[in-house]
Amino acid sequence: MSTFSFSPKMPSLKTGDLLCLPWVSRKRPAFSVSDVPGALSAVAPGDDSDKLALTFLGEYGGKRVAAAVRRVGDEPLKAAQALREMISQAIGLARKLSLKRVVVCLNDAHAALATAVQEGALLGGYTFDTYKSKAQTKPKPPISVALFVKTGDVAAVRQALSEGEVVCRCVNFARDVLNEPPQVMTPKTFAETAVQFGQEAGLNVAIWDHKRLAKERCGGILAVGNGSATPPCLVKATYAPANATRHLALVGKGITFDSGGYCLKPAKSQEDMKFDMAGAAMMLAATAAIAQLQLPIRVTCIAPMAHNAISGTAFNVSDVIRMRSGQTVEIENTDAEGRIVLADAISVALEAKPDFLVDAATLTGAAVVALGEDIAAVYGTDAPFTRRVLDAGKSAGEYLWEMPLHAPYNKAYDSHIADMKNSGARWGGSICAALFLKRFVKDFSPWVHIDIAGPGGKPGVLGHLGKGGKGFGVKTVVALARGLCTEK
């Protein structure tokens, strides 16, 4: 792990420091040369703009220090991502060189760039080594990151960093639960962990166990989780400040491990399936962050949790399930289980009478085929609200792309014995999955569905988050909630 601090005054260099210097271009540094020792700041970065280059290592002023540079550019959003990656790379370099602190210099930074440095430190410096044997693995020393900003609105920077620390902590909570092995992070454990974290954040959190699910007619969640030794459950987390004027409902898929059921996944395809709960982790973490930030918006978060396993009690192909909405679903594919649990959860969320509904799930491999590992697919029923979600992702440095809700594809769900089947056509799989959910959203609007199968459950190519769970989407939802609070 890494720690982070901020000061408007250039810290004195100490033995074990790595001076990290971003450049806007090869000719223009993003820091004040007058405040940085000349021999450490004179070297400009080369042409390779995505690499941190070590430019000095040795004695300077009687202290063993190092310096490194990287170009970040001057376009704000690209510069922010470059800074996240730069700080993450600097932490790795500091560990490699047995240094203790990364000192980052910016001459004039608005809050977004300072927050990007903070995210590079707190998210880029994240580690999960719970199951590493101490006898065999050398522990990674903590690296502190100190940001120096000479000019600009210092008060605004401090406020942004205070809020950013909350968000980063919640992102890393999501990563922690995702990185736990599935025999540990069962539906029961996930629910109990969510309750503890949520209550600490000031949320009202309740668990619906399998008996309550049966009483509430959540036949979809029960069917998907029926094959596991650990019964399914549902977590309902609410935040209701007195000054709230709007109500946002959040729904996240929480399949703690997806074997595919009787439509068994190939072994290779199961490797990332502990991340099939990324939607639930995202929404629960975002709700906790919204509460800790005391945003004036009411939030209802619904997270269905189940283990899609194989056993004598598991649901079968050709089963017909009666959902909470009263609709019936013929099971054509037990590996299309995520939409089943989401459908029941959406019905629960809509009963809270929200103004807006957003769901997220690692739902389809088709979304990864279409958009790759870093980009989430977005579907919406209301163009202005969908644009708000896309803009929130952009400001948060998370990549979203709008896809069409192409109604003619609904024909793929026609069933001869039930209201619908659970598996659509081979082509346009992500669109078909969104259309299935739309059957349970019905006429409610605005609704947005985010398929995070790529960034929620795959390694990705963005450099600052490393291996394991990403906690994708938490920052986007917090940014969305903040925007809804300020909209008139």
- pLDDT digit string, tens, across residues 246-288: 999 999 999 999 999 999 999 999 999 999 999 999 999 999 9
Residue 47: per-residue pLDDT? 65
Cβ atoms < 10 Å from Cβ of 112:
18
* 82: its two tokens: 């470059």
Categorize the per-residue pLDDT at 455 as very low, low, confident or very high, splitting at 50, 70 and 90. very high
Distance CA 153, CA 384 (A): 32
Task: Report whether 152 contacts 190 (CB < 8 A).
Answer: no
- pLDDT digit string, tens, across residues 422-445: 998 889 999 999 999 999 999 999
| Residue position matching structure tokens 């509460």 | 291
Categorize the per-residue pLDDT at 24 as very low, low, confident or very high, splitting at 50, 70 and 90. confident
Residue 137: per-residue pLDDT? 63
Handedness of CA 480, 485, 486, 488 (dihedral sign): positive
Task: Report whether 259 contacts 172 (CB < 8 A).
Answer: no
Residue 138: per-residue pLDDT? 67
> What are the residue boundaries of the structural domains of the chain, listed by start?
2-151, 174-486
Residue 43: per-residue pLDDT? 80
Answer whether residue 309 shows pLDDT above 80: yes
Q: Work out the angle between the directed axes of helices 154-179 and 111-122 (0-180°, nearest 10).
A: 30
Q: Which of the residue ranges 23-37, 122-136, 164-178, 262-276 would you say has the lowest mean pLDDT?
A: 23-37
What is the longest distance spanned by two Cα atoms in the chain?
82
Residue 139: per-residue pLDDT? 66
CATH superfamily of domain region 2-151: Leucine Aminopeptidase, subunit E, domain 1 (3.40.220.10)
Task: Report whether 300 contacts 246 (CB < 8 A).
Answer: no
Please give the share of the chain, as a percent, with pLDDT higher than 90.
Answer: 79
Residue 263: per-residue pLDDT? 98
Answer whether residue 1 shows pLDDT above 80: no
Residue 488: per-residue pLDDT? 61
Q: Which of the residue ranges 129-133, 460-464, 483-487 would you say has the lowest mean pLDDT?
A: 460-464
CA nearest neighbour of 333 among 253, 268, 270, 413? 413
Task: Report whether 294 contacts 173 (CB < 8 A).
Answer: no
Helices (H) and strands (E) in the chain, counts: 14, 18
User: In which element (H, E) is residue 361 found?
Assistant: strand 356-361
Distance CA 169, CA 125 (A): 12
Could you tell me the strand order of the sheet in which 420-421 lies?
320-322, 328-330, 420-421
Summary mean pLDDT of the chain: 93
- Which string of b and e fits 368-404 if b means at least 16 CB within 10 Å? bebbebbbbbbbbbeeebbebbbebbebbbbbbeebe
Categorize the per-residue pLDDT at 35 as very low, low, confident or very high, splitting at 50, 70 and 90. confident
Please give the share of the chain, as a percent, with pLDDT higher than 70.
Answer: 97
Answer whether residue 135 shows pLDDT above 60: no
Characterize the bridge pairing of strands 2-7 and 143-151.
Answer: parallel
> Global pTM?
0.96
* 86: its two tokens: 């730069």
Active-site annotation, residues: 265, 339
The pLDDT of 82-106, averaged and rounded, is 94
Answer whether residue 136 shows pLDDT above 70: no
Residue 40: per-residue pLDDT? 81
- pLDDT digit string, tens, across residues 45-92: 776 667 899 999 998 888 999 999 999 988 889 999 999 999 999 999
Residue 404: per-residue pLDDT? 98
CATH superfamily of domain region 174-486: Zn peptidases (3.40.630.10)
* 125: its two tokens: 């410096």
CA nearest neighbour of 57 among 77, 46, 43, 47? 43
